[in-house]
Amino acid sequence: MTTLDIRSDVTVQLVDHNLSDKAVVRAARVSTVGQTHNNPTEDADRDAGLINYLMRERHGSPFEHGSLTLFVEAPIFVFREWQRHRIASYNEESARYRELRPVFYLPAADRNLVQVGKPGAYRLKPGTAEQLAFVDCELLNAYEAAYEAYERMLVAGIAREIARAALPVGIYSSMYVTMNPRGLMNFLSLRTHREDAAFVSNPQREIEMCAEKAEAIFAELMPVTHAAFEANGRVAP
Ligand SMILES: Cc1cc2nc3c(=O)[nH]c(=O)nc-3n(C[C@H](O)[C@H](O)[C@H](O)COP(=O)(O)OP(=O)(O)OC[C@H]3O[C@@H](n4cnc5c(N)ncnc54)[C@H](O)[C@@H]3O)c2cc1C
């Protein structure tokens, strides 16, 4: 019997990027002064004011210049949500061309478990210790049974693309995703919960864990743009 690898976390790693606040300023200034890439201005306050203006007025296209590539490991149910964001490019490992590894998700002890309220207007509250143990037990049993069925089919010569039908959405996958800053801000706006946002979204916690990691990377690479995003209600321009 294969030993399952159990995780409660997600991986979001910066692989590559060409993001900068300067690229936003350069793109915006072409409309009023023409090219500036050979003679960039060195007025940080003016640049920050321009970026804030663009964000506030939702002049979005200057935020489309540049991209970052992230490597992500998360359960498949997170990927289903993330890949709904069409303004991005994705490449994910294939369950047709490789055998999926037995890596499965269990909620951490501090993950809220119990839904209170109606669909679309509910909140989650902590489960009891018994509920957490129950969830762990049920998920582990399901994962073990599913992965054993998957392996039995592979041993019997069944194609991976058929055998994978036995696997649950709690299994981990991996992908590269490339986004431009505007698409990323739309993702962050929708996939984080912030009470102080102009629009308060209620994403599932597991994709929010990914978004929080992506946002920390974004804030480091584009501090002025990120500050303007925050200051203007976390609305994507
Ligand atoms: C809390 C939450 C709950 C959700 N629940 C559900 C659910 O129950 N069922 C479900 O199916 N989905 C659900 N979604 C997914 C949601 O409907 C979006 O598909 C997802 O958030 C991607 O957002 P987006 O379209 O803005 O992103 P992107 O696809 O990256 O698009 C970015 C922006 O580009 C523009 N754009 C992109 N494509 C088009 C287009 N074809 N036409 C016009 N404009 C376009 C839009 O302005 C869009 O905001 C949920 C999302 C959240 C955050």
What's the CATH code of the domain at 164? Answer: 3.30.1360.170
Write the CA distances from 211 to 123, 159, 161, 201, 223, integer angstroms: 19, 35, 30, 12, 16
Indicate whether residue 86 lines ligand 1 (CB < 6 A).
yes
Q: Is residue 237, in this structure, part of any structural domain at all? A: no
Q: What confidence category does residue 37 fall into, taking pLDDT thresholds of 50, 70 and 90?
A: confident
Structural domain containing residue 183: 5-17+67-222
Tens-digit pLDDT profile for residues 166-192: 999 999 999 999 999 999 999 999 999
Mean pLDDT in the chain?
96
Has residue 209 got a pLDDT over 80?
yes
Ligand 1 atom 40, closest CA: 86
Question: pLDDT at residue 94 above 80?
Answer: yes
For residue 44, being part of any structural domain is answered with no
pLDDT at residue 15, as a whole number? 98
Query: Is the pLDDT confidence value at 17 over 90?
Result: yes
Domain count, the chain: 1
| pLDDT band per the 50, 70, 90 thresholds, residue 197 | very high
pLDDT at 123: 86
Q: Which atom number of ligand 1 is nearest to the Cα of residue 236? A: 49
**pLDDT score of 106:** 98
* 234 flagged as catalytic: no
User: Is 97 inside a domain boundary?
Assistant: yes
> What integer is the mean pLDDT of 74-86?
98
The model's pTM: 0.96
The model's confidence at residue 118, banded by pLDDT at 50, 70 and 90, is confident
Residue nearest ligand 1's atom 34 by CA: 87
Nearest CA to ligand 1 atom 3: 203
Tens-digit pLDDT profile for residues 130-157: 999 999 999 999 999 999 999 999 999 9
Asked whether residue 34 is domain-assigned, the answer is: no
